[in-house]
Amino acid sequence: MIRKIIVFAASALFSHFAAADDSQITGTQTIQLRALGTFKSGPYDHGAAEIASYDVATRQAYVVNGFANAIDVFNLAQPDKPALVNQIKLKDYGSPNSVAVKRGLVAVAVAAKPKHDPGSIVVFDLTGKHLNTFKVGALPDMVTFTPDGNVILSANEGEPNDDYTIDPEGSVSLIPVGEDIRQQSQADVRTADFSAFNTQTLDPAIRIFGKNASVAQDLEPEYITVSADSQTAWVALQENNALAVIDIAASKVTALLPLGTKSHALPGNGIDASDEDGGVHIRTWPVEGMYQPDTITSYAVDGETFIVTANEGDARDYDGYSEETRVGKMNLSKTLIQAYPKLTSKNQLGRLKVSKVGADTDDDGKADRLLAYGARSFSIWSAQGKLVFDSGDQFEQITAQHDPGLFNIDDDRSDNKGPEPEALALGEVDGRVYAFVGLERTGGVMVYDITNPADAAFVDYFTTRNTEAVEDLPEAGDIAPESIVFVSADDSASGQPFLITANEVSGTVSTYAISVRPEKD
């Protein structure tokens, strides 16, 4: 395995985008990011750096290394020099998907083989000593602690097998953390499932469409965020384009909240829909984007909780069943064809990947609704699932202005989810709250001031990615941020806030300094 420490100094490889007053998107520029250091955890495009978590007491980061089937432990006492100090091997437990650290415990979500069998939450101490293992639902995809550290929660996605002949139920497992977790048993594990919704009439905007699936089988928990008082959890149901609400004390799903769609026909919501249209062409189209968030998080303003989502998008695409198609392969309604005679051409919407599910609203065998995956944005929602803010088409506009070579990876992903926002973290700097959004495909981090949820504002875009370098070399920078962790000034050994990014394709764990820009006179 290749492991190499690289400490970066500021150079032309690292670039900011802060639009000037006469450009389309104007950044407030209250803070900016700067590259500190990076560590190469494994080979290119082998998942050597995925999900990260930070322990305040030891100043250590714990990072899922899928390539090594382990948790890498980094000393960040010097944030500019991340040092690998330990590796927790997981070959005896399964394949790691996620890690969370709290109260001196390291909880790892581990998938079984095959993935549709029950997975596990494996708990270690900070040195990697095994303490306990708890069986949970199929394919635990994300693990977290409540803010008070009293409960471990696992989002058990329950994906089907490739033939779609086995489809486990999705669920959320809750494990109370006692005084000595070593003494706890499987009987302590509680399950919030969706079986009660099998006989209920759901909002039709909640996508239930799996092959021969019940509601409980079809709902697939992806990511969890918990309220500041540790009483309520919100769970992203990505493929279903919805959120679930969980009463933690009761271990019960109390509500399903549909997220609806975003109209790309409206000004400010345009997309570049083709990888064969000769360049960057962000336009409005008769397309609806399904938000379908991956990472979600939350924060409170004046006692009210808001949910923040990175709207990546995802399709069900298996050997035994696929919802995916391209607009050019669809039999479109007369209304669409009359309004857009060349809609199915490759330089318009012909290349765009959309869902067959929900496309034919009047059952006449023709598609009259075009539903694309993801919203190419981040959003802020009320605790009841009402949209408060969406960044519209700013991610594509900003990256296009910043570097057309980076735009949707040189336009190659324009037909399929665009910049693909996935990683997400929130942090308070100098009295203001910021969202840091990682773009999986484009690379880099978008920074927004979300102090006022209804009036969030773009601040900066920062990337270390260099498209002129060979991708599997260090000079290419960080590629495909899978997770971001914000470390506050109080929790940082240097006394300065910084970000940790785990980058799946480049296999790098990197740190970015956060500095406050001086106010202009």
Task: Name all domains of the chain by residue range, CATH numbers in brackets.
Answer: 4-314+374-516 (2.130.10.10)
Supply the pLDDT for residue 519.
63
Q: Which residues contact 41 (CB under 8 A, 6 or more apart)?
A: 3, 48, 49, 63, 65, 67, 68, 72, 84, 507, 508, 509
Q: Helix, strand, coil proportions of the chain in percent (round to 5)? A: 5, 40, 50
pLDDT of residue 517: 81
Summarize pLDDT for 362-410 with one digit per residue, the tens.
999 999 999 999 999 999 999 999 999 999 999 999 999 988 888 998 8
* Residue 89, both tokens: 């091997």
Tokens of 185: 């048993």
The CA–CA distances, whole Å, from 237 to 111, 140, 208, 484 equal: 18, 13, 11, 20
Average pLDDT taken over every residue of the chain = 94
Rounded to whole angstroms, the Cα distance separating 121 from 132 reads 8
Confidence (pLDDT) at 404: 87
pLDDT of residue 352: 98
pLDDT at 3 over 80: no
Over residues 110-115, mean pLDDT: 97
- Mean per-residue pLDDT, 259-276: 98
Mean pLDDT of 515-520: 76
Q: How far is CA 109 from CA 40, 71, 368, in A?
A: 23, 11, 41
pLDDT band at 147; cut points 50, 70, 90: very high
What pLDDT sits at residue 1?
A: 28
